[in-house]
Amino acid sequence: MHTTQYAVTGRICGRASGCLYLCVVHHSQQHMAGRKNAMLTTEDRRWLTGEKTYEGEHAKQQRYQRRRDIRERVYNSILDFTILFQQLEETEREKLFGHLSDDGTQWDIEDEAFEAGIRDALAFLLYNIGVTKPLSTDKATSSTPVAEQLITDAIYHAGRRDDYLVETVELNITATHLPLSNVLDDLEAGTTLSPARLRVLMESDRVDTAEIQECVRRMIFEDD
């Protein structure tokens, strides 16, 4: 078990299961071709998901060009968030994100794919600015991790939009190193899996969902 404390207080936890994840992935793959070009084009999506491949004499160059185009679009899209954050009207933001209750605990959005996209956008950004790096070491450091600094700055800027001065941000992360192979071994051995481990399996494409359903069934009957 490894606990990392950034200077950012709150408890981060996922949903009780990965059901939303599985449903959204299936839905997104079904409707991927019908979506408009955005940060990724339709061809980008087909290539990244393995639906499209490049073969033949110029395949290497085509893959290189595709990767470069994706990098450029992602880079420029991220730059656009500065404009969106500063300039997009509140009415337009609410049309996009729906309405949140005053205490921030209730959200009236019913678009599961959009909700999953927000989650994965945050995960993509956090992962690539190194939010998991401090989890792999017990060494104390006087330097501020990049992820901590950017998270703190982001919450500060968000607070200022509503005239709050955010002075302190604390974030505690408790994590256990859990390779998928370990969970697969437990599943094969018939070991009862915790909800957290079940979620790891449900988010993997290496396990038949029927096996997971059987595992859940055993847990239910054991509880009875």
Which of 121, 110, 126 has its CA nearest to residue 40? 121
pLDDT at 134: 84
DSSP letter string, 25-69: HHHHHHHTTTSPPSSS-HHHHHHHTTSS---STTHHHHHHHHHHH
The pLDDT tens digits of the residues spanning 38-65 come to 999 999 999 999 999 999 999 999 999 9
How many CA atoms does the CB half-sphere of 31 hold within 13 Å?
10
Instruction: Name, of 20-24, 79-83, 113-117, the range with top average pLDDT.
Output: 79-83
Contact by Cβ (8 Å): 148, 170? no
Contact by Cβ (8 Å): 33, 42? yes
Measured between alpha carbons, how far is 82 from 120 in angstroms, rounded to an integer?
A: 19
Residues sharing a CB contact under 8 Å with residue 41, sequence separation 6 or more, in sequence order: 73
Which of 75, 86, 95 has its CA nearest to residue 157? 86
The pLDDT tens digits of the residues spanning 136-189 come to 777 767 788 999 999 999 999 999 999 999 999 887 888 878 788 888 888 778
